Structure 1
Amino acid sequence: MRSPSSTVADHDPSAHFHGTEHATPLPRLSTQGFTMTFSDSIFAERESEVRSYSRGWPAVFATASGSWLTDRDGHKYLDFFAGAGALNYGHNHPVLKEALLEYMAGDGITHGLDMSTIAKGEFLQTFQDTILMPRNLDYKVMFPGPTGTNTVEAALKLARKVTGREAIINFTNAFHGMTLGALSVTGNAFKRAGAGVPLVHTTPMPYDDYFDGEMQDFGWFERVLEDSGSGFNKPAGVIVETVQGEGGVNVARAEWLRGLADLCKRHDILLIVDDVQMGCGRTGPFFSFEIAGITPDIVTLSKSIGGYGLPMALTLFRRDLDIWEPAEHNGTFRGNNPSFVTAKAAVDHFWSDDAFEKETIAKGNRIHEVFTELSNKHEGVSTRGRGMAQGLVFEAPGQAGKVCQLAFDNHLLTETAGPSDQVVKLLPPLTITHDELEQGLDILATATAQVS
């Protein structure tokens, strides 16, 4: 392994921590083409205490390209975070940027609600022809609003509207969003507590391997469904992530997902797959559920569906489920036309054949290989993941956070996941080069050795 200091240019740990003692505006400085007129203290003084990533990464970022971010002092950071999965195609990909700039320069429509526009029509046609039809998916496409939690809310509402039932089944350690409906099917106690009101009409079930193989999959779930004396209300739907990102990179086996799909079909329960973070190629195929050979009734997409990091979300569902009344679910920013432009460009550029999928799987295998080596070398360390969503799991409390801090000190951006932040979660851009991937893995290997 190379030493961390040799992997990233301009390594200067002292430059990471910018003081907050200056209350007066800074001089007008030009960095990377930007003029800065704000004080160092503006973030701490004016931004809410709810901010989080900026606390772990105390740098002021200025530009980004590919797999790299550059701070205002010119220091480069390798990005193994990719906007929490919103930047599968990297920062400012030239093909997507060209399409966006051309559209904006031509006075293309930016805000269109749900009006018909050329940008929307081009996206829908491309999405149908390149993504849906080759996979034999006859989904209707709904634009519910620009974020992941918007599409989850729409999915839950639709399931309840179609079935006339209230209950939703979710899974342990799930994460589906921060608005009330999405939060009600989220497992994290800290996030749920922020709601301030009871989160009702949902029932958690154990995710795959929750009991380390000691209990039969879905045994209790099916038993209470079939027992008229169980007091269990038949649910409208089941919502599941094929890989739980925020929950700790927990991977559901293909056979487990097939078993869940079969159970839902037998009992007339709608299956919702939340592909907000794991879709758009993160696990290899465009949809993360493809590996299991299942066809969900409803699918939620956001994050990288916009291609460029622009806000966009889709709710996909079976044609016969489309019983919405006009405007029954709407939102001011459901028609973000610049996102349609970059989304179409991304589908055209990356998904016209299976080369991108194969490359993603190969890179994911390389991460898994290195993480397996680290797990064998260091006690109390293990690994899990699928595709380019990979996790390094630490038994000892706080170790994952220390690894992420050491990584940042060596100009690598990573984050923790899991109910106890016990997992170092990797979500690099799918477009990362092999050399960049090795650089980041070297830094993580050194940080793991220091902590373990």
Structure 2
Amino acid sequence: MELLDQTVDDSVFTQHESEVRSYCRSWPTVFTRASGSWMTDTTGREYLDFFAGAGSLNYGHNNPIMKAALLDYISDDGITHGLDMATVAKGKFIEAFTQKILAPRGLDYKIQFPGPTGTNAVEAALKLARKVTGRESIISFTNAFHGMTLGSLSVTGNSMKRAGAGIPLVHATPMPFDNYFGGVTEDFGWFERVLDDSGSGLNRPAAVIVETVQGEGGVNVARMEWLRALSELCERRDILLIVDDVQMGCGRTGEFFSFEEAGIKPDIVTLSKSISGYGLPLALTLFKPELDVWTPGEHNGTFRGNNPAFVTGTKTIEHFWSDDSLTKEVHAKGEQINTAFTELAERYEGISTRGRGMVRGLVFEESATASKVCASAFGAGLLAETSGPSDEVVKLLPALTISTEDLGRGLQIISDSVKEVIG
């Protein structure tokens, strides 16, 4: 295509785009093409992508299966913008999602399309929980990240992101995430105590919102027993449980939903990022039928019905989630990453590793080292980001469909970069 073969003056970004841009500062080049797990810049240099659009490209760039379906739909004048009108594309997506995702897992959720991004799904979840219960307070967790709009920021832990709100973020109370105290004390001790103490100052919460793996927070993994205990606590106290599966859902941890392994059934679930399968904006808020107390139009948005995303999302579900083949692949590749990271942790002091499935973190006691490792990896042709409160974690989110050869190639680059920075 002629456009993709053209060059761009780099100064157009620095002169005209806002200073808020971030990822491009870590990866200072201009990208033009992408396929599978590889991106190409305008000089023709190729980069192995272990970032995958922050988890929105679980099936790689321009997956040919979804691309063919999308091109057919567009060329046939399929509806692009439909708000929440009934369309064939939306109907097919709902059928595929309910029949192949929800029903086999014994889940009977209503589906809401709240807007195009993850934070829209979270905002809808918080509003619904408050409407159902008549309560205002939400319990969140230390180091949580749920989005950049005001409601989502109120349940986010990162102080820099919260400060950007410019106003007090209220009606949310943080509690310690699993292992926050390093196993020194029982994590639920404080939570249960303040719930029971009339002098604690804690208003009875409408809901608890939790990530099973805190991606932005540093790849902090909740134990299955902790998640089960949290679910049981919420059920006993008539508190709604919201699982934010925006980044960890759609197979990132192996199973389609990250909470499946714990055997729990949250009251509300948020999905976005890879639900379209092709990187197209789409978000879902799922909830138990008895919670569907919305009145028509009470929560809406112009771009809540992205029909091209319905098309690619349907094809994704039909191709990748009709059996457990992808789940097995994710677990196997996750172990491949874990083995490589464990070897690095054993070879060098001040390094540890944690993660589930194909979200893995290499944790450095000296936080600045993580950014240096990512910079070195970029120089060697690999895209990887940092996370954690001090950016102390090299966080890997490769496409679930990446070949074992490319995965191994990227892990070698990480290993070489660690050696270059620490060695």
TM-score, reference length from structure 2? 0.99
SS at match of 2:250: coil
Other structure's SS at 2:91 match: helix
Is 1:48–2:18 an aligned residue pair? yes
Whole-angstrom distance in 2 between the partners of 1:363 and 1:449: 23
Question: 1:417 matched to which residue of 2?
Answer: 387
Is 1:212–2:176 an aligned residue pair? no
Runs of 5+ unmatched residues, structure 1: 1-29
User: Deviation of residue 228 (structure 1)?
Assistant: 2.1
1:347 to 293, 297, 317: 317
Give the whole-Å Cα distance in 2 for the aligned partners of 1:191 and 1:232.
24
* Partner SS for 2:259: helix
Matches within 5 A, 1:54-93: 54-93=24-63
**What is the letter of the counterpart of residue 20 of structure 2?**
V
Q: Report runs of 4+ in structure 1 exceeding 3 Å deviation.
A: none
Residue 298 of structure 1 corresponds to 268
1:421 to partner: Cα distance: 0.2
Alignment coverage as a number of residue pairs: 422
Q: Could you tell me whether the CA contact under 8 Å between 2:344 and 2:351 is conserved in 1?
A: yes
> By how many angstroms is 1:224 displaced?
1.3
Letter of the 1:355 counterpart: S
For residues 197 and 165 of structure 2, the distance between their equivalents in structure 1, rounded to whole angstroms, comes to 33
Which residue is 1:186 aligned to? 156
Output aligned runs, 1:47-446, within 5 Å: 47-446=17-416
RMSD over aligned Cα atoms: 0.9
Distance 2:266 2:98 in 1: 17
Give unpaired runs (5+ residues) of structure 2. none
For 1:204-260, what per-residue CA distance to the aligned partner results, in whole angstroms no more than 9, with x for missing partners? 000000000011121111111112232221000000000000000000000000000
Distance in 2 separating the partners of 1:40 and 1:221: 51
The 8 Å contact of residues 333 and 358 in structure 2, kept in 1 or not, is answered as: yes
Amino acid at match of 1:200: V
Query: How far has the Cα of 1:44 moved from its partner?
Result: 0.4
Question: Once the 2 structures are TM-superposed, how far is the Cα of residue 38 of structure 1 from its aligned partner?
Answer: 4.1
Q: Supply the distance in 1 between the matched residues of 2:197 and 2:141 (Cα, whole angstroms).
A: 21
Deviation at 1:315, TM superposition (A): 0.1
- The one-letter amino acid of 2:76's match is G
- Deviations 1:395-416, CA, capped at 9 Å, x for gaps: 0131000000000000000000
Post-superposition shift, 1:35?
4.5
Q: How far apart are 1:295 and its partner, in Å?
A: 0.2
Q: AA paired with 2:83?
A: L
Report if aligned partners of 2:250, 2:256 keep a CA contact under 8 Å in 1.
yes
SS in 2 for 1:385: strand
> Quick check: which has more Rg, 1 or 2?
1
1:34 Cα deviation from its structure 2 partner: 2.0
Q: What amino acid is the match of 2:393?
A: V
Deviations 1:329-357 (A, max 9, x none): 00000000000000000000000000110
The secondary structure found in structure 1 opposite 2:329 is: helix
Any conservation in 1 of the 2:367–2:393 contact (CA below 8 Å)?
A: no
String of CA shifts for 1:17-57, please: whole Å, max 9, x gaps: xxxxxxxxxxxxx87x6243643310000000000011110
3-state SS of paired residue (2:202): coil
